[in-house]
């Protein structure tokens, strides 16, 4: 009698728990791979953290004709000359898959890459390096948490082999609160960082978590992808002429830029100016004096990204943007320091064989090049297109990368030995 009642009460709960385990552990979901082209299109410009943290949608899109555009807040500055708009309007053979938004830096991108390693193998990518990432503190733990994906972490742990790259990634992840959000995974990370293999139990646990997280991604990833940016791209494209002719477009970029920067003398777009700067501008004079992008843990994190690209033999175009020159002068940001930053980052790239670099760092004074203080707009996007278009539409020689572990060292993070005249220094 008691048994029967108890079974009636608790039976359904156990059945539900069992059913949930069966559903989320089932290997069948791996076949559930269809992502409609509309969803791919929306996802490619959504800039949504869900897309960044997931796997399926990116994989399917990048197996199609999408190319990963790694970066951060600049991607959200949609205007008619934004790479996504140009690619759509002029029916290019590629479409940008925008990866990253405000606060996503190298460490986030290293983990994002784990979800698309197969899609990066021997293919192309574009990587936008923001000098503003390279602050003395480096990646902000809160921003990192916002984009932290347990799925990408388990994917990486399953494939790690104890290389310097893996050990460094584990060490950095443990410095973020996200790294300790799961106790067992944190313990596994500590072992990896110390150069040990995770224990058998940790491996089993990571495998179990990985299966569930993968299935969740397979089941839910397609849904709730915002389409507002895709619509914005369609709207912006209408302002462009039918034919792609650089000089024409450059003139148009200047015209639109002029129309949209009437409120201030910095060449900053009206919306940004009125909403974000106008009220504070008086206080901001010389506020960036002494700011340096030369000493930062970000250099080591950036090496993680380079190391992963090298492993995947990805052909990468790196873009180094300028800072709005008028703003830079007004806020007292050192031009010398920016030049040194450019040299330091170029050294890290070129000395390891990453030779496709679109260096725009000296263009911050060109009118209507920047949309606001640090983000390119109209003419800036267009000039970038001069590098992006040939890189992605023509064949590029197989790269020869040689990773130098020195770039993981703290000495490199703190290296400041660059001066204006020598060009690249060598030890």
Partner 1 sequence: MRWYIPYGNPTYFLWLGLALIPLMIGLLYGHRFRGYQTLISLLFLVLTFGGPNWKTGISLIGYLIYQVLLVAAYSHYRQPKGSANRGWVFVLAVILAIVPLVIVKITPAVEGGRQSIIGFLGISYITFKVVQTIMETRDGMIKTFHPVLFGQFLLFFPTISSGPIDRYRRFLADYQKVPEQAAYLDMVQKGVRYIFQGFVYKFILAYFFGSILMPQIEMQAILAHGLSWSIVGYMYVYSMDLFFDFAGYSLFAVGISYLMGIKTPMNFNQPFKSKNIKDFWNRWHMTLSFWFRDYIFMRLVFFCMKHKIFKSRTTTANVCYVINMLIMGFWHGETWFYITYGLYHGFAMVINDAWLRFKKKHQAVIPHNKLTEALAIFITFNVVCFSFLIFSGFLNTLFFAPKPF
Instruction: Confirm or reject binding of residue 3 to partner 1 (CB under 8 A).
Output: no
- Compute the CA torsion angle 71, 76, 79, 82 (nearest 10 deg): 20
Instruction: Confirm or reject binding of residue 22 to partner 1 (CB under 8 A).
Output: no
Alpha-carbon gap, residue 329 to 285, rounded angstroms = 9
Nearer to partner 1, 137 or 279 (CB): 279
Nearer to partner 1, 10 or 425 (CB): 10
Instruction: Confirm or reject binding of residue 9 to partner 1 (CB under 8 A).
Output: yes
The distance from CA 400 to its chain's CA centroid, rounded to whole angstroms, is 23
Q: Are 371 and 380 in contact (CB under 8 A)?
A: yes
Interface region with partner 1, contact rule CB under 8 A, candidates 9-17, 120-128, 313-321, 376-384: 9-17
Nearer to partner 1, 271 or 419 (CB): 271
Radius of gyration of the chain, Cα coordinates, nearest whole angstrom? 23
Residues 121-180 that bind partner 1 (CB under 8 A): none
For the CB of residue 274, give the shortest distance to partner 1 in the complex, in Å: 10
Nearer to partner 1, 225 or 249 (CB): 225
- Around Cβ 395, how many Cβ atoms within 10 Å? 6
Q: How far is CA 67 from CA 154, 187, 315, 349, 405, in A?
A: 24, 35, 11, 21, 28
Instruction: Confirm or reject binding of residue 275 to partner 1 (CB under 8 A).
Output: yes
Q: E-strand spans in 30-166?
A: 66-70, 95-99, 124-128
For the CB of residue 122, give the shortest distance to partner 1 in the complex, in Å: 40
Instruction: Confirm or reject binding of residue 93 to partner 1 (CB under 8 A).
Output: no
Regarding beta strands 124-128 and 95-99, do their DSSP bridges make them parallel or antiparallel, or are they unpaired?
unpaired
Instruction: Confirm or reject binding of residue 276 to partner 1 (CB under 8 A).
Output: yes
Give every strand in the sheet of 66-70, ordered side by side. Answer: 95-99, 66-70, 124-128, 315-320, 357-359
By CB under 8 A, name the one of 5, 91, 137, 397 that touches partner 1. Answer: 5
Phi, psi angles (nearest 5°) of residue 319: -115, 125
Instruction: Confirm or reject binding of residue 397 to partner 1 (CB under 8 A).
Output: no
For the CB of residue 219, give the shortest distance to partner 1 in the complex, in Å: 16
Nearer to partner 1, 3 or 238 (CB): 3
By CB under 8 A, name the one of 13, 22, 28, 200 that touches partner 1. Answer: 13
By CB under 8 A, name the one of 137, 238, 279, 402 that touches partner 1. Answer: 279
Phi, psi angles (nearest 5°) of residue 120: -95, -20
Instruction: Confirm or reject binding of residue 283 to partner 1 (CB under 8 A).
Output: no
Chain contacts with partner 1 (rule: CB under 8 A)? 2, 5-6, 8-10, 13, 275-276, 279
């Amino acid at each position: 009698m008691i048994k029967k009642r108890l079974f009636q009460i608790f039976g359904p709960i156990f059945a539900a728990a069992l059913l949930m385990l069966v559903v989320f552990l089932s290997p069948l979901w791996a076949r559930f791979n269809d992502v409609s082209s509309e969803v791919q299109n929306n996802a490619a410009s959504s800039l949504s953290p869900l897309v960044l943290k997931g796997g399926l949608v990116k994989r399917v899109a990048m197996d199609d004709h999408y190319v990963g555009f790694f970066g951060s807040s600049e991607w959200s500055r949609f205007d008619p000359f934004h790479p996504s708009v140009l690619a759509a309007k002029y029916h290019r053979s590629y479409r940008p898959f925008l990866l990253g938004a405000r606060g996503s830096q190298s460490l986030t991108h290293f983990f994002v890459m784990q979800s698309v390693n197969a899609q990066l193998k021997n293919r192309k990518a574009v990587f936008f390096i923001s000098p503003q990432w390279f602050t003395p503190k480096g990646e902000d733990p809160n921003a990192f948490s916002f984009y932290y994906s347990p799925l990408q972490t388990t994917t990486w742990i399953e494939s790690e082999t104890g290389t310097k790259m893996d050990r460094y990634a584990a060490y950095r992840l443990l410095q973020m609160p996200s790294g300790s959000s799961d106790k067992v995974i944190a313990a596994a990370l500590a072992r990896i960082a110390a150069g040990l293999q995770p224990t058998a139990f940790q491996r089993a646990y990571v495998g179990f978590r990985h299966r569930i997280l993968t299935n969740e991604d397979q089941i839910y990833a397609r849904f709730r992808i915002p389409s507002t940016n895709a619509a914005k791209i369609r709207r912006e494209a209408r302002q462009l002429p039918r034919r792609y002719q650089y000089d024409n477009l450059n003139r148009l970029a200047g015209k639109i830029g002029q129309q949209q920067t009437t409120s201030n003398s910095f060449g900053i777009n009206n919306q940004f100016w009125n909403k974000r700067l106008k009220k504070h501008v008086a206080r901001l004079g010389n506020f960036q004096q002494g700011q340096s992008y030369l000493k930062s843990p970000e250099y080591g994190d950036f090496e993680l990204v380079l190391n992963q690209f090298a492993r995947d033999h990805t052909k990468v175009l790196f873009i180094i943007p300028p800072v709005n020159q008028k703003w830079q002068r007004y806020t007292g940001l050192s031009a010398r320091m920016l030049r040194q930053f450019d040299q330091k980052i170029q050294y890290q790239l070129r000395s390891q064989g990453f030779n496709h670099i679109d260096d725009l760092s000296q263009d911050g004074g060109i009118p209507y090049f920047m949309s606001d203080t640090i983000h390119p707009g109209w003419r800036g996007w267009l000039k970038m297109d001069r590098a992006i278009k040939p890189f992605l539409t023509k064949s590029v020689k197989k790269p020869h990368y040689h990773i130098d572990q020195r770039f993981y060292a703290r000495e490199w993070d703190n290296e400041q030995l660059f001066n204006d005249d020598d060009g690249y220094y060598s030890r």
